[in-house]
């Protein structure tokens, strides 16, 4: 499957997260994003160095600036279970406007065409690192990394696209 690109409609799919009452929730991506300008950004894995020290903190730090430019929500997607995503979220002092969403079986990541096979490294199927700017379900900017790079999918890159 070809990776999602500018002009495409994001596929619908179900992701999981723990709400503010610590209840496990299943949510439709279209329900989250319909009628809004949002950022979906994906990482290869929770607690991994680049993801934890650069990619996610960048979106947390720039969340207010992104909101001031019209982005209503920021959704972090990782191929991890919701319990891991909950623990990862708690590892940050502040997560501001970033919602941590689990794609436990990589089903949604596969629907985006952004899966990354890291089986040789013992990590199984993961997500390529990416950041999508989406307006009412349509992709406005698709910043997708090659391999393990971190060169085009930062919060600053999305700000530049706005």
Q: Which residues are catalytic?
A: 51
Question: What is the Cα Rg of the chain in Å?
Answer: 14
Place of tokens 């490294």: 121
Q: Give the whole-angstrom CA distance, residue 146 versus residue 140.
A: 20
With CA atoms as reference, report the closest residue to 4 among 104, 107, 103, 131: 131
Contact criterion met (CB below 8 Å) for 134 and 37: yes
Q: DSSP string covering 59-87, please? A: HHHTHHHHHHTT--EEEEEESS-HHHHHH
> Measured between alpha carbons, how far is residue 86 from residues 7, 23, 63, 157 in Å?
32, 11, 19, 26
């Amino acid at each position: 499957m070809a990776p999602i690109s500018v002009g495409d409609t994001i596929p619908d799919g179900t992701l999981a997260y723990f709400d503010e009452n610590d209840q496990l929730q299943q949510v439709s991506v279209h329900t989250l994003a319909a009628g809004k300008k949002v950022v979906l950004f994906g990482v290869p894995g929770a607690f991994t160095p680049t993801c934890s020290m650069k990619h996610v903190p960048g979106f947390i730090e720039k969340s207010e600036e992104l909101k001031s430019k019209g982005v209503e929500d920021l959704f972090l997607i990782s191929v991890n279970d919701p319990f891991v995503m909950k623990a990862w979220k708690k590892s940050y002092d502040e997560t501001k406007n970033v919602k941590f969403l689990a794609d436990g079986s990589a089903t949604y990541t596969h629907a985006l065409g952004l899966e990354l096979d890291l089986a040789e490294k013992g990590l199984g199927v993961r997500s390529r690192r990416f950041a999508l700017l989406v307006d009412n379900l349509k992709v406005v900017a698709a910043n997708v990394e090659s391999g393990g790079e971190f060169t085009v999918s930062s919060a600053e890159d999305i700000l530049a696209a706005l």
